[in-house]
Amino acid sequence: MALLALSMTACSSDNEQTPQKQIDMNLAPATSITYGEKQNIALPSSVLDASDLKISLDFSLNENVKVNASENLNDKLSKAVTVSKESGAISVNTTLLYPNGAVSSAGIKIPDSYKIIVNASSESQNFQGKQTIDFKIIPAKLIIKGIDNKTSIPVGYVIYGDAANFELETPENITANMNWAIENPSSIGTEVTFSSNVLKFASNAGDPDKKAEKAYDVTPILLKDGFTVASTTFRVVFIPKIKFFYGTYYPEYDLTILLNNLHIALSNGYVSAAPAFSPENYKSSFVINGIKKDGQTFTDAESIFSINEKTGSITVKKSDLLTEGAYEITVKAVTTTGLEFLTTLTLNMSKV
């Protein structure tokens, strides 16, 4: 009996297994990723050292909503969030998902963040680890060609009568199978439509009389499965036609009198009248853009010609260096809206 008891004790000791060691995964904390980007979450070296490392991802903490006719959210997550032991990281491909908090045209809401349970284990090193990572995808920003997109609300100015078409660009990595739309169509009316990625304003947009300034705040969006993945808000301002020339303008009659080809005495000096500029509230600054003499480029090495930057009045200094001929001065006006306009003033100089 004593021998049997000893034998049973020995067997029990041999079959006893060492409890698995619980390790900290030390994965990166919650982060925000812009839609269209890819991000890698590095796995710790203590985990990667195991040659028989097993890693699994669990998406059960997310509400498994139906995102399109054939897929649920967890189907998308299983393709978008993957593990590569070769690179030693968990890879997140945002183009396969949707921005968090987005609500589709069908009323389906994406969770406010994505939660992924990461499980890691190794038999050879006898450990297991578990951690939930939390990340959020934010919508990408659309780019409007030809407009300064760095401001908080980009602004585009259109003169009545000019075509008002704005081409939109998506950031890199955002591809096809998406639809363009306007987020706030009811607030801007039927004057604005989409043609592919070009936002178009109708010819009747703005003030019916085309005399008053009128602004539209437009929010174009890019949709995938009815969810907004990229957007921007910008302002389009329609303004009256700019009148800019040397002479006189009578706005009440829409009457123009050109005084842009004058004869003056050579070498005596001269100060011109300010150019006409209407509407006056758009007037900002003036600069000489170039000078020609008798059709050939004239280099004003002695700074004989100058301009009043605020009024546009041209001054010719008294000088014996000029010779007879027609001096055509091209003047550029920059409006308060950043638009640029050119006009000319020709001074025909001859001896008295």
pLDDT, tens digit only, all 352 positions of the chain: 443 343 444 444 445 566 778 888 888 888 899 999 999 999 888 888 888 889 999 999 999 999 999 999 999 999 999 998 788 899 999 999 999 999 998 999 999 999 999 999 988 888 998 999 999 999 999 999 988 888 888 999 999 999 999 999 887 777 667 889 999 887 788 889 888 889 999 999 999 999 899 999 999 999 999 999 999 999 999 999 999 999 999 988 889 999 999 999 998 899 999 999 999 999 999 999 999 999 999 999 999 999 999 999 999 999 999 999 999 999 999 999 999 999 999 999 998 7
DSSP string, 35-102: TT-EEEEEPPHHHHT-TT-EEEEE-TTS---B-SSS-BHHHHHHHHEEEETTTTEEEEEGGGS--TT-
Contact 159, 241 (CB under 8 A): yes
pTM above 0.85, yes or no: no
Q: Which has the closest alpha carbon to 199: 142, 161, 151?
A: 142
As given in the structure block, the two tokens for residue 318 are 């008294």
Q: How far apart are CA 40 and CA 82, in angstroms?
A: 10
The gap from C-alpha 334 to its chain's centroid, in whole angstroms, comes to: 25
